[in-house]
Structure 1
Amino acid sequence: MMKNLGITPSKTTILMVSVEQERVGLIIDRFMPRYEVLFAFDEDEAMHYLDRKIVTLIIGNASDSINKGFDLCKKVKYSRHHCHIPIILLVGKDSLSVKIRGFEYGADAYVETPVFAPYLEAQVNSLLKNRNRVKEHFETTSTNSFFTRRIDDCEESFIHEVDSVIQQYLDDPGFDVEFLAEKLHVSRPTLYRKIKCVTNFSPNDLINMARLDEALGLLSAGYRVYEVSDRVGYSSHSHFSRNFQKYYGMNPREYIANKKLSMVV
């Protein structure tokens, strides 16, 4: 019963890390201007970008030494803030040991060098489609459903951690994004980037959606509108009614009337 919140998609950002100069032009020609493409010299510079930008996918280089690319995988995939970001590694032909090690560190796909541009593009498109399917699921279901949906381990752990804090403070009118970030021990910008990348919603959207989903259940159980407003953390009953109307397309009293009518019919 979730209403479309009118989210406008932002431009997808691809981060290239330690990619050799002769391959940079090839990738730029293939992916710009459809995507925003960023460049990092090494994994440290890459992490600097990840802490400041919403990066959707990473292309790294593991073709010129056994260690290159693995440090990047470890830093990204072992980070609770960035582990959801897919990584493609560029590797030399017949690099089976490199590929095995890369998968152990969390690489999502490989493209052999010299790079065949259509194949790289196909890998990028496949990974981005998988990411978009997750976001689309979040956009078309209620918070009660997607907080219990099975996704990958990194995302599942994070989403359930977010849900646990939201449910704990759902009835507190002072609970907001700043408070949520504090309880999760992350900065507000980091929280925004992670939630936005995983769900396509903002943290404030998730808090509001959780409150309104809970409100729906309470109204269905027979609670009065003012009681529900207080129980889901709205300091103003009129603010609650306006948000409910925006989210569900009817105000709380109309919902109760429709519920009673459907029971009679």
Structure 2
Amino acid sequence: KEMIQLYHGEISVSFKESRWFDISVMLPVDKYAFHPDEVIDEESEEWELPTLPIAEGEEQVKLPIVLIVEDNTKVREFIARELSLYFQTLEAENGKEGLFMALKKIPDLIISDVMMPEMDGFELCRKIKNNELTSHIPIILLTAKADEESHLEGIQAGADDFFLKPFKTNQLLSRIKKLIELRAQLRIRYSGRSTVSPKDIAITSTDERFLEKIQEIVDRDLSDSNFTVDEFSKKLGMSRMQLHRKLTALTGLSTTAYMRDQRLRLALPRLEKSGDSISEIAYSVGFSSPSYFIKTFKETYGKTPSEYQERRAKK
């Protein structure tokens, strides 16, 4: 019981019968349930992607997730096999299953056949691009039809590229890499600015609406130090994993890191213009302690809040 209380948990006992009882233990899993002084290591994000095998002295590289939606088993397995050295692959045998998998796993890219049972590739593409959870995901459609009408329908559905069957594997790999790199450039754009408009990093209009919704939550709730990742995801109607994958795709940051980053960004104009103390500013933007604010500010901007103020004053 003492150990559970030390971890800010709860323990309860429920008697079912005279001979049986249940013991229930609830423990917080979010770092912000604890005081910063109680946290030793940074919280490792859940659902980490697997990493490539590496030689000694090299850095680990995370594998992007590619979802392959194809009703022909041999074609699907062939694509998965060819991509497996470079990506983590998921497979679905029709559009309906592919949509379920996309919403559940939030992959980095989707490759889909056009002609499939249950739901064809065009409908899958439209549903992916119109859903806030998945609108950022690039989609490559595979088709045996070379006619202009099919190509136009794919563009209207939101497809990012087309490949005619049969296709060369190295060309497909090259295009996948390029599409993932384009998304990475948007994340770099986010990290390089002190203020970012949703239009600056949005890939689709659905993304823009999603980012605007996030900004509303940031403006309204982030200054509360008790505002958690769980509350953030609930307000957006997403699971922790879905929000983590979506934010990572758009900004390059996990949900925890994004919240911390946004709090630091909120502090910048206060440091420049207000006459408040460092402690007052730290609490006003949602940090639970000034020491943690100073530590993370220096890690992010290379100087303490006081040093930042002094430099801005000289300008």
**Fold shared per TM-score above 0.5:** yes
Compute the displacement of 1:27 (Å). Answer: 2.4
Question: Which residue in the other structure is 1:149 paired with?
Answer: 200
Superimposed CA distance per residue, residues 14-45 of structure 1 (whole angstroms, 9 cap, x where no aligned partner)? 11102524433542454221111211011232
Question: Which of 205, 215, 238 does residue 186 from structure 1 map onto?
Answer: 238
Q: SS where residue 97 of structure 1 aligns? A: helix
Work out whether residues 137 and 146 of structure 1, in 8 Å CA contact, stay in contact via their aligned partners in 2: no
Question: Which residue in the other structure is 1:96 paired with?
Answer: 148
- The one-letter amino acid paired with 1:219 is L
Work out whether residues 69 and 95 of structure 2, in 8 Å CA contact, stay in contact via their aligned partners in 1: yes
Question: Which of 249, 253, 259 does residue 201 from structure 1 map onto?
Answer: 253
| TM-score, with structure 2 as normaliser | 0.73
| TM-score, with structure 1 as normaliser | 0.85
Give, in whole Å, the separation in 2 of the partners of 1:190 and 1:218: 32
Work out whether residues 223 and 285 of structure 2, in 8 Å CA contact, stay in contact via their aligned partners in 1: yes
- The one-letter amino acid paired with 2:307 is E
Give, in whole Å, the separation in 2 of the partners of 1:121 and 1:134: 21
Compute the displacement of 1:100 (Å). Answer: 1.6
Q: Which runs of 5+ in 2 are unaligned?
A: 1-44, 46-59
Work out whether residues 94 and 120 of structure 2, in 8 Å CA contact, stay in contact via their aligned partners in 1: no
Work out whether residues 133 and 246 of structure 2, in 8 Å CA contact, stay in contact via their aligned partners in 1: yes
Work out whether residues 14 and 56 of structure 1, in 8 Å CA contact, stay in contact via their aligned partners in 2: yes
Q: SS where residue 79 of structure 1 aligns? A: coil
Question: Which of 127, 131, 147 does residue 179 from structure 2 map onto?
Answer: 127
- The one-letter amino acid paired with 2:266 is E
Q: SS where residue 39 of structure 1 aligns? A: strand
- Structure 1 position 68 matched with structure 2 position 120: yes
Give, in whole Å, the separation in 2 of the partners of 1:26 and 1:105: 26
Compute the displacement of 1:110 (Å). Answer: 0.7
Give, in whole Å, the separation in 1 of the partners of 2:130 and 2:266: 34
Identity %: 27
Question: Which residue in the other structure is 2:297 paired with?
Answer: 244
Give, in whole Å, the separation in 1 of the partners of 2:292 and 2:116: 59
Superimposed CA distance per residue, residues 114-146 of structure 1 (whole angstroms, 9 cap, x where no aligned partner)? 12323322322221221121122223333x225
Give, in whole Å, the separation in 2 of the partners of 1:243 and 1:55: 30
Q: 1:147 to 1:231 in 2, by over 3 A?
A: farther
Q: Which runs of 5+ in 1 are unaligned?
A: 1-6
Work out whether residues 166 and 180 of structure 1, in 8 Å CA contact, stay in contact via their aligned partners in 2: no
- Structure 1 position 159 matched with structure 2 position 211: yes
How many residue pairs were aligned? Answer: 254
Give, in whole Å, the separation in 2 of the partners of 1:149 and 1:64: 36
Q: SS where residue 14 of structure 1 aligns? A: strand
Give, in whole Å, the separation in 2 of the partners of 1:214 and 1:85: 29
Q: 1:150 to 1:251 in 2, by over 3 A?
A: closer
Q: SS where residue 158 of structure 1 aligns? A: helix
Compute the displacement of 1:184 (Å). Answer: 1.6
Give, in whole Å, the separation in 1 of the partners of 2:201 and 2:244: 22
Work out whether residues 64 and 88 of structure 2, in 8 Å CA contact, stay in contact via their aligned partners in 1: yes
Work out whether residues 125 and 157 of structure 2, in 8 Å CA contact, stay in contact via their aligned partners in 1: yes
Give, in whole Å, the separation in 2 of the partners of 1:133 and 1:32: 24
Superimposed CA distance per residue, residues 36-69 of structure 1 (whole angstroms, 9 cap, x where no aligned partner)? 121101123223322332411111111578x721
Question: Which residue in the other structure is 2:28 paired with?
Answer: none
- The one-letter amino acid paired with 1:218 is R
Give, in whole Å, the separation in 2 of the partners of 1:62 and 1:214: 45
Work out whether residues 187 and 251 of structure 2, in 8 Å CA contact, stay in contact via their aligned partners in 1: yes
- Structure 1 position 105 matched with structure 2 position 157: yes
User: Which structure has more helix as a fraction of its residues?
Assistant: 1
Question: Which of 163, 174, 185 does residue 226 from structure 2 map onto?
Answer: 174
Compute the displacement of 1:111 (Å). Answer: 0.4
Alpha-carbon RMSD? 2.4
> Relative contact order (C-alpha < 8 Å, sep 6+): which is higher?
1
Structure exhibiting the larger radius of gyration computed from Cα positions: 2
